[in-house]
Amino acid sequence: MPDQTPNQYAMQDPTKQYPQPKFDKQPQSAPGLAQEMDPKPDHGETSYRGFGRLAGRRAIITGADSGIGRAAAIAFAREGADVVLSYLDSEQKDADEVVALVEKAGRRAFPMPGDIGDEAFCQRLVSHAQARMGGLDILVNVAGKQTAVEDIADLTTEQIEATYRTNVYAMMWLCRAAIPLMQPGATIINTTSIQAYQPAPMLLDYAGTKAAIVAFTHALAKQVAAKGIRVNAVAPGPVWTPLQTSGGQPQSKIPDLGSSVPLGRPGQPAELAPIYVLLASQESSFVTGEIYGVTGGNHLP
């Protein structure tokens, strides 16, 4: 397979920039670890360069141990931000690597394991950010639960509730707690999905949560615009993360993950990080209430 950490800044063929199908099946128990994936995802560990666009900012990133959240944490640190890292206890091995990368970039990392599906933990997470960093400028909601179920008869109430608590309730709880701490110029970045617009039949609950995130983002952006706070969302297509290999897709679909998008491969987390940086930075000062698609060519409406 091609080099997993190419120079993102050199002109090249995007269809061949990162590994392409076929991949090996690689089942993991949810939520999974990036360390156990083959090929390992590129989160920007060696490829992302910072330019000081978030100097002195203070951020919370959920799902910061692996995948898109990890890529955002690395990028934010290299752009000059301190970061509170939120993740599950079972993801500590991946999170330890992120802490080291943030600190290597010369910024402060504040790890806080716990379940964002618990309202009290969401409040503690924001309070932790206030206590350790003295305030909050950026909230990035990335963490999500995705479990493929092919027949609605097998979609349990327990799974529906867990998916909505992680993907929707937690986002609302965190935004509600964070906004009183935010000054004009602060930003909130949510993470929806192409599934909000082109839902797969085996992701009924997940797709529903991602559609809810779209509506919430549009509405909250209008509500807080007068405060000088911007709210946007990123809508990824298929991305090579543990979310996919640990039950987000059936193992039968892993070998061909991403093959159906026009670019013919799954995205890498490092390819999404620059969008989160843009939306967090003052460079996007006239952008709010928008959904940014990063889908490999499958268009959003």
Q: Which residues are catalytic?
A: 206
Residue 62: enclosing H or E segment and its boundaries? strand 58-62
Q: Torsion angle, CA of 193/144/188/183, rounded to 10 degrees?
A: 170
DSSP label of 227: G
Name the CA dihedral angle for 94, 98, 99, 102, rounded to a multiple of 10 degrees: 180
Dist. CA 113–CA 89, nearest whole Å = 5
Residue 195 near residue 210, CB atoms below 8 Å? yes
Place of tokens 């309070």: 127
Q: Which of 141, 166, 177 is nearest to 276 (CA)?
A: 141
Q: Are 129 and 136 contacting, i.e. CB atoms less than 8 angstroms apart?
A: yes
Of 259, 253, 266, which is closest to residue 295 (Cα–Cα)? Answer: 266
Location of structure tokens 């602060």: 186
Q: Give the Cα separation of 131 and 125 in Å (integer).
A: 10
> For the purposes of burial, counting CB atoms within 10 Å of the CB of 10, is it exposed (0-12), middle (13-18) or buried (19 or more)?
exposed
